[in-house]
Amino acid sequence: MKRSSLTEQAVALLTGRIASFAFMFLLPMILVRLFSKHQFGLYREFFVIFFALYMLAQFGMTYALPSLIPRNRDKTKEIIANTVFAQFLIAVVLSFAGVFLFFYGECFGLRAEILPLAPIMGMFTGLMVASSPFDNILIIEERSQAAALLLIVWDLTRGSFILCGALFFHDLPIALWAATIAAALRYLVMLIYLRSSYQLSVSQL
| C-alpha–C-alpha distance, residues 192 and 205, integer Å | 14
Task: Write the DSSP symbol of residue 142.
Answer: T
Confidence of residue 13 (pLDDT cuts 50, 70, 90): low
Count, in order, helices (H) and strands (E) of the chain.
8, 0
| C-alpha–C-alpha distance, residues 104 and 102, integer Å | 6
Other Cβ atoms less than 10 A from the Cβ of 7: the count is 10
Confidence of residue 10 (pLDDT cuts 50, 70, 90): low
| C-alpha–C-alpha distance, residues 140 and 8, integer Å | 14
Residues 135-182 have pLDDT tens digits of 889 888 888 778 778 888 888 899 999 999 999 999 999 999 999 999
Asked if 44 and 28 count as a contact pair (C-beta separation under 8 A), the reply is yes
Spatial CB neighbours of 197, under 8 Å, sequence gap ≥ 6:
141
Which has the closest alpha carbon to 90: 178, 200, 187? Answer: 187
pTM of the predicted protein model: 0.88
**Long-range Cβ contacts of 96-100 (<8 Å, 24+ apart):** 96/122, 97/122, 98/122, 98/123, 98/125, 98/126
Q: Residue 72 — φ and ψ, nearest 5°?
A: -135, 60
Instruction: Look at residue 187 and give its three-state secondary structure.
Output: helix
Confidence of residue 6 (pLDDT cuts 50, 70, 90): low
pLDDT of residue 153: 85
Residues 171-192 have pLDDT tens digits of 999 999 999 999 999 999 999 9
* Residue 121 pLDDT greater than 80, yes or no: yes
pLDDT of residue 122: 97
* Residue 88 pLDDT greater than 90, yes or no: yes
